[in-house]
Chains A and B, each alone.
Chain A
Amino acid sequence: GENVEQHPSTLSVQEGDSAVIKCTYSDSASNYFPWYKQELGKGPQLIIDIRSNVGEKKDQRIAVTLNKTAKHFSLHITETQPEDSAVYFCAATTDSWGKLQFGAGTQVVVTP
């Protein structure tokens, strides 16, 4: 089955700097890669997703890149703000309507 590894496990950045989180996946058939943000006591909230027919997608300060050859994808957050502090999860699946395989998460702390 699919295996997703996520790095780093913790990330501390100064407000205004950029944050990058990287994930690798094992199943070359995976074709859908969502990113979720989870705040304390809350469920995961979708922030951006990308499909295998696209190499990059951007939404305001958030961008995701996908390298199918290397089987890795990354989340980029620019101009970080304190409200970006949360745990971020990447996920992968061979069927966007099926089960998601999640990474272990990255705790992002943005310090003022």
Chain B
Amino acid sequence: DTGVSQNPRHKITKRGQNVTFRCDPISEHNRLYWYRQTLGQGPEFLTYFQNEAQLEKSRLLSDRFSAERPKGSFSTLEIQRTEQGDSAMYLCASSFRSNQPQHFGDGTRLSIL
């Protein structure tokens, strides 16, 4: 049974650089979600997709953030001109259909030097 896969697991970059994360959801899961988790806090919603359509974006998702799910399968989250405050764990989740739970990947930890 293949779960949600996220790559890379850890990314270290200098302030001002661009970074991109990838999420591969569970096969046939229509919805894909991105959350951000900082130390000692619960995950915070960023955005979600149904197939390739981005249905909702949080106010947390500034202009420097962009997410795509081009063919309704994997998704990418890009952060441009990274800042210290972007340091966090970025979590991806997927769900099959309404009334089915969200299943999370193990996240990508972003560290900004």
Q: Which residues of A contact B (CB under 8 A)?
A: 4, 6, 34, 36, 41-46, 49, 89, 91, 96-105
B35-57 vs A, Cβ < 8 Å mask (1 yes, 0 no): 10000111111001000000010
B43 adjacent to A97 (CB under 8 Å): no
A104 to B33, CA, bound (A): 19
Place the interface of chain B in its size category: 20 to 34
B42 adjacent to A102 (CB under 8 Å): yes
B100 adjacent to A97 (CB under 8 Å): yes
Known: A89-B42, A105-B40, A105-B42. A100 touches B106 (CB 8 A): no
Chain A CB within 8 A of B74 CB: no
**Contacts A/B (CB < 8 Å), 22 sampled:** A34-B102, A43-B4, A43-B104, A43-B105, A43-B106, A44-B91, A44-B104, A45-B104, A46-B103, A96-B99, A97-B31, A97-B98, A99-B45, A100-B43, A101-B45, A102-B43, A102-B44, A104-B40, A104-B41, A104-B42, A105-B41, A105-B42
Q: Return chain B residues, CB-CB under 8 Å to A41.
A: 106
Would you list the 10 A-B pairs with minimal beta carbon distance, nearest first? Answer: A102-B42, A43-B104, A99-B45, A97-B98, A43-B106, A44-B104, A89-B42, A46-B101, A43-B105, A43-B107
**Most B C-beta atoms less than 10 A away, residue of A96, A97, A100:** A97
A45 to B93, CA, bound (A): 10
- Give chain B nearest CB distance to A87 CB in angstroms: 9
Chain A CB within 8 A of B95 CB: yes
A104 to B101, CA, bound (A): 20
Q: Return chain A residues, CB-CB under 8 Å to B58.
A: 99
Q: Known contacts A91-B42, A96-B99, A99-B58; can you find 15 more A-B pairs with CB under 8 A?
A: A34-B102, A41-B106, A43-B91, A43-B106, A44-B43, A45-B104, A89-B43, A96-B98, A97-B99, A99-B45, A99-B48, A99-B56, A102-B43, A103-B42, A105-B41
